[in-house]
A and B are shown apart, each in its own frame.
Chain A
Amino acid sequence: MELTVTRHEAALVVGVRGRLDSTTSTRLEQELLSRIAAAERSIVLDCSQLAYITSAGLRAVLLAAKKLKNTQGALVLCSLNESVWKVFDLAGFTRILSIHATLQDALAGLPTR
Chain B
Amino acid sequence: MQGKQRLIFTTLLLEVAFLVPDTIAAVLAGSLAVWADLLRCGIETLAVFFAWLTIRKVDRVSSDPQRYEYGLGKLESMSTVLIASIFFVAAGWVTMDAWAAFRAPEPLEWSNIWLAFVFNLVAIVIDGGLWWKHRTIAVRERSPIVEAEARLYRIKTFADVLVGIVLALAASLRGPWLGYLDPASSLVIAGVMVHSAYGILSESVRDLLDVALDEGMQLQVLRCLATHFEDYREFHGVRSRRAGSAMFIEVFLEFEPDRRMAEVQAAIDHMRDELMGAIPGSFVSIVPITQNINVGGALRPSAATA
A7 vs B28: C-alpha distance in the bound complex, in angstroms?
84
B212 to chain A: closest residue by CB: A22
- Known contacts: A36-B303, A55-B218. The answer to whether A92 contacts B234 by CB under 8 A is no
Q: How many residues does chain B have at the interface if contact means C-beta atoms less than 8 Å apart?
A: 24
A-B CB contacts (within 8 Å), total count: 61
Whether the pair A55, B222 counts as a contact (CB closer than 8 A) is yes
Q: Which residues of A contact B226 (CB under 8 A)?
A: 62, 91-93, 95-96
Can you add 5 more A-B contacts, CB < 8 Å, to A33-B303, A58-B222, A59-B222?
A: A26-B294, A59-B237, A63-B237, A67-B303, A70-B234
Binding site for A on B (CB under 8 A): 215, 218-219, 221-223, 225-227, 229, 232-238, 292, 294-295, 302-304, 306
The B interface, classified by DSSP as helix, strand, loop or mixed, is mixed
Q: How far is the CB of A96 from chain B (nearest CB, A)?
A: 5
For residue A10, CB closer than 8 A to chain B, the reply is no
Q: Which residues of A contact B233 (CB under 8 A)?
A: 66, 70
- Known contacts: A34-B303, A37-B303, A66-B233. The answer to whether A54 contacts B295 by CB under 8 A is no
Q: How far is the CB of B165 from chain A (nearest CB, A)?
A: 44
A70 vs B221: C-alpha distance in the bound complex, in angstroms?
22
A69 to chain B: closest residue by CB: B229
Binding site for B on A (CB under 8 A): 22, 26, 33-34, 36-37, 54-55, 58-59, 62-63, 66-67, 70, 87, 90-93, 95-96
Q: Provide a sorted-by-A list of 20 A–B residue pairs whose CB atoms are within 8 angstroms.
A: A26-B294, A26-B295, A33-B302, A37-B303, A37-B306, A55-B215, A55-B218, A55-B219, A59-B222, A62-B225, A63-B237, A66-B229, A67-B303, A70-B233, A70-B234, A87-B219, A91-B222, A93-B222, A93-B226, A96-B229
Q: How far is the CB of B282 from chain A (nearest CB, A)?
A: 15
Q: Which residues of B contact A67 (CB under 8 A)?
A: 234, 303-304
A96 vs B234: C-alpha distance in the bound complex, in angstroms?
14
Q: Which residues of A contact B223 (CB under 8 A)?
A: 90-92
A37 to chain B: closest residue by CB: B303
Q: Which residues of B contact A22 (CB under 8 A)?
A: 295
A67 to chain B: closest residue by CB: B304
Q: Which residues of A contact B234 (CB under 8 A)?
A: 63, 66-67, 70
A55 vs B217: C-alpha distance in the bound complex, in angstroms?
9
